Structure 1
Amino acid sequence: MMFPDSKLSIPLNHMEGYHELSAKTQTYFSTAAAMWDANFYIQVDDDIHVNLGIISSLLSRHLFKPRVYIGCMKSGPVIAHKGVKYHEPGYWKFVEAGNKYFRHATGQIYAITKDLATYISVYRHALHRYANEDIYLGSWFIGLDVEHIEDRSL
């Protein structure tokens, strides 16, 4: 992983692969929170063009809030059928087939505050991982006092 401001390449100790994205995300936030004292940590897919001016402006509006989760929020259906992309092995936890997941940011780009990254780092071994990385990150914040901020400019 390359961090442009520090010119450091930091290898993450994780398995690569689609079904390992939850572990990779946990490792990323844990590593970033341990290495850098930042107000926000941002996850960006490698095929996304980032406008740093927009990101900076957006994040500056939320600097003094302790637990903020910013992104393009959605709530899609829970996929119960095996063999289908995004199949959720834990679908039965959502009570009825066809139910929707809770609100969560889509995975192309989202930001979380230092408090939330630290929470992930401290409790990473106890946090449940759903089939889809977007879902599990959103699930980790249910029950916490987190402000979900819908921002389509991302």
Structure 2
Amino acid sequence: MSEKLMDCTRFCGIMNRAIRVAGGAAAFARQHNIPVQSVRDTQNLRGFSSDVVAALGLVQVLRYPLPSDPGKLATPQDVQEKLNNFIRGCKSQRSAAQVFGIHESHLSNIQNGLRGFAPVLSMLGFGLPVRRFYAKKVENHG
């Protein structure tokens, strides 16, 4: 992925400036037809409202740090690919699940996107996910 990722500090700067320019959280909420509480919760970092993120022209993504190279962040697809290769190397999902110390149905749910990667991350060489943002591409119709 070639988008330039920004961290939460940069996101907060963009959000706080947009809220200030709008005249406050309530005004920003009215401008973008978003519940005021969603704006306030995002501004206070109680959560990240997808409506607020979208109103700022951003997209929120999760990335997985590599302890071996802290400056590099892996995509969920990278984690999925490494998990699938690990399972193939173990010859069966059952034996891979035993290596991870989880039930095979739990591993199946992780593979199928029904559960998060947390139980397998460290053994695959990834850290816990970090939140990042990137600017949406604006389509030019002309």
Return the TM-score normalized by structure 1.
Answer: 0.23
Bigger proportion of residues as helix: 2
Greater C-alpha Rg: 2
Larger fraction in strand:
1
Provide TM-score, normalisation by structure 2.
Answer: 0.24
